[in-house]
A and B are shown apart, each in its own frame.
Chain A
Amino acid sequence: EAGVVQSPRYKIIEKKQPVAFWCNPISGHNTLYWYRQNLGQGPELLIRYENEEAVDDSQLPKDRFSAERLKGVDSTLKIQPAELGDSAVYLCASSLSTEAFFGQGTRLTVV
Chain B
Amino acid sequence: GQNIDQPTEMTATEGAIVQINCTYQTSGFNGLFWYQQHAGEAPTFLSYNVLDGLEEKGRFSSFLSRSKGYSYLLLKELQMKDSASYLCASYSNYNFNKFYFGSGTKLNVKP
Contact = CB atoms under 8 A, between A and B. Distances in A.
Contacts of B65: none
Interface residues of A, number: 21
A48 B104 contact: no
A80 B96 CA distance: 27
Contacts of A98: 31, 48, 91
B109 to A, nearest CB: 19
Contact of B104 (A4, A40, A44): A40
A25 interface: no
B48 A43 contact: no
B63 interface: no
Contacts of A102: 35, 42-44
A21 to B, nearest CB: 14
Interface string A88-108: 000100000011111111010
A56 B42 contact: no
A92 B45 CA distance: 14
B99 interface: yes
Indicate the member of A4, A100, A103 with the most B CB atoms within 10 Å. Answer: A100
A98 B90 CA distance: 11
A45 B33 contact: no
Contacts of B48: 98-99
A37 to B, nearest CB: 8
A40 B45 CA distance: 19
B98 interface: yes
Interface of A: 4, 33, 40-45, 48, 55-56, 91, 98-105, 107
22 contacts: A41-B103, A41-B104, A42-B87, A42-B103, A42-B104, A44-B101, A45-B98, A45-B99, A48-B96, A48-B97, A48-B98, A56-B96, A56-B98, A91-B42, A91-B43, A98-B48, A98-B91, A99-B33, A99-B48, A100-B45, A100-B99, A104-B42
